[in-house]
Amino acid sequence: MIAVRTLGPVDVRVRGTAAPPELLWRKNLALLVYLARSPKRARTREHLIGMLWGDKSDDKARRSLNEALRELRRSTGDGSLESDNAQVRVTPDAVQLDIDRLEALAAAGDYAGAADLVHGEFLEGFSVPGASEFETWLAAEREHWRRRSVEVLVRRAEQLLANGNLTAANDMVRRARGLDWRPETAVRVGLRGLALAGDRAGALALFEEFTARLRRELGAEPDAETRALAERVRQERAWRLPGQVRQAAARGSGPQRGPLVGRAAELARLTDVWETCRTRTRGAVVVIEGDAGTGKTRLAEELAARARLDGAMVVGVRAVEADRADAWSGVFGIARGGLLEAPGVAGARPGALDQLRGRTPADAPGRALSEVLQAVAEEQPLLVFVDDAQWLDRESLLALGAAARDLAGAPALCVITAAPQPSRPELDELRARLGRQLSGTTVKVGSL
């Protein structure tokens, strides 16, 4: 069996050991790879001659093809190469290509494995001078595998971002952009990775550099999606977590904070819920549960930062012990915590807004909250961040549960952090509905 690495400088192994030099002769190698890439791994002799020996007389060309087939047969062993007067075919297990494996891994969602197979251009540095048909084919294959490799590397980078592994994600982006600087998917995941790592200047520099090159070399402008993302990164300096949530988060936030440690699985679950919520406009609730100091707020912030880059509005409140006895304090906290200033509030009923502003006696603040959240979620995706919900007043906890039901068809995610003590039946009840009447999940965080 022959194994060929095609992505990068070509490497050929025969039954695990280095290939004999004859097999590496240009036309032999070209024939081998070309056959393995052909439909059903078969071609007519006529076609192969046109591909590789088109510059020779008919007689000479036929002899050369036979020579080459003899060499392949010597290396692959009998039975792996079938030929008759008209056709040549390699059997499926005679030749193994890395790119077939890459497609199998990608189809199975194993982008880590697939990305490991990308070592460079298809048959990097290889050419068959004089065989113009083969060269044309090679150029098309290169273009195809360059695009495919970039796709795989970008998918892997996205997975790594969802796991919080920013360094590895940014490395992946660098590899992708080394293959091809043009795909904007790679630019966008690069922008996200740098911004999430706190390197806002680096992210904007990447965007500027990309834009300049695009103009210079292709006379084009970046996509609207890329421009919108860059704009969000630019705005992010002005943006702070609202009100009380900010104070809670300030201890461990900002570009100077260290990288997130050891929460890959938890963050991946959270981003997964967010992606579904945002892309399928399905409201959801996630509860992050753990003792004080285990990193609940930090984990929620990581998710909020991702949501911001996706263009979401983030509003929030942080409860403290005294709030528990203060009816509706949580609802009013969310109103003050960014909701009343959010784009889209004007779409809500004035009566509901007046209630949340405290201008009229609050006869039904819970319903008002639901209405205003819905209006804001019509304008853009929405993340409602409720920190330390174990201290939330009972009325607000119930109102959140009701709002979650009302927002089931909106791109709105409610992120609740809570310590297990004191235990709150309203919260237990909400959690019990997750995955049943309500989309969402509970993520438990233990000490690191």
Ligand X SMILES: Nc1ncnc2c1ncn2[C@@H]1O[C@H](COP(=O)(O)OP(=O)(O)O)[C@@H](O)[C@H]1O
Establish if 390 lies at the interface with Mg ion (CB under 5 A). Answer: no
The span from the CA of 342 to the CA of 378, in Å, is 11
CA distance 269 to 405: 21
Tell me: does residue 260 bind ligand X (CB under 6 A).
Answer: yes
What's the closest the beta carbon of residue 295 comes to Mg ion, in angstroms? 8
- Smallest gap from residue 289 Cβ to Mg ion (A): 12
User: Going residue by residue from 265 to 304, which x/- string records binding to ligand X, judged by CB under 6 A?
Assistant: -------------------------x-xxxxxxx------
Gap between the terminal Cα atoms of the chain? 48
User: Does residue 297 belong to the site contacting Mg ion (CB under 5 A)?
Assistant: yes
Residue 293 binding result from Mg ion, ligand X, none, given CB thresholds of 5 to 8 Å by partner type: ligand X
258 binds ligand X (CB under 6 A): yes
Q: Measured between alpha carbons, how far is 311 from 266 in angstroms, rounded to an integer?
A: 22
Contact of residue 258 among ligand X, Mg ion, none (CB under 5-8 Å per partner type): ligand X
> Is-contact 329 363, C-beta < 8 A?
no
Query: C-beta of 445: minimal distance to ligand X in Å?
Result: 7
- Give the contacts of 431 (CB within 8 A, at least 6 positions apart): 287, 442
Report if residue 252 touches ligand X, rule: CB under 6 A.
yes
Task: Report the relative pairing of strands 42-44 and 87-90 from DSSP bridges.
Answer: antiparallel
CB 372 within 8 A of CB 353: yes
Q: Where are the alpha helices (DSSP H) in 251-311?
A: 264-279, 296-309
290 binds, among Mg ion, ligand X, none (CB under 5 to 8 A by kind): ligand X
Q: Write the DSSP assignment of 301-316 as a string of letters.
A: HHHHHHHHHTT-EEEE
**From candidates 251, 280, 349, 444, binder to ligand X by CB under 6 A:** 251
Query: Which string of x and - marks every residue 241-260 that binds Mg ion (by CB under 5 A)?
Result: --------------------
List 13's β-bridge partners, or say none.
3, 18
Nearer to ligand X, 154 or 383 (CB): 383
Closer residue to ligand X in complex, CB, 251/349: 251
Residues that bind ligand X (CB under 6 A): 251-252, 257-258, 260-263, 290, 292-298, 448
Residues that bind Mg ion (CB under 5 A): 297
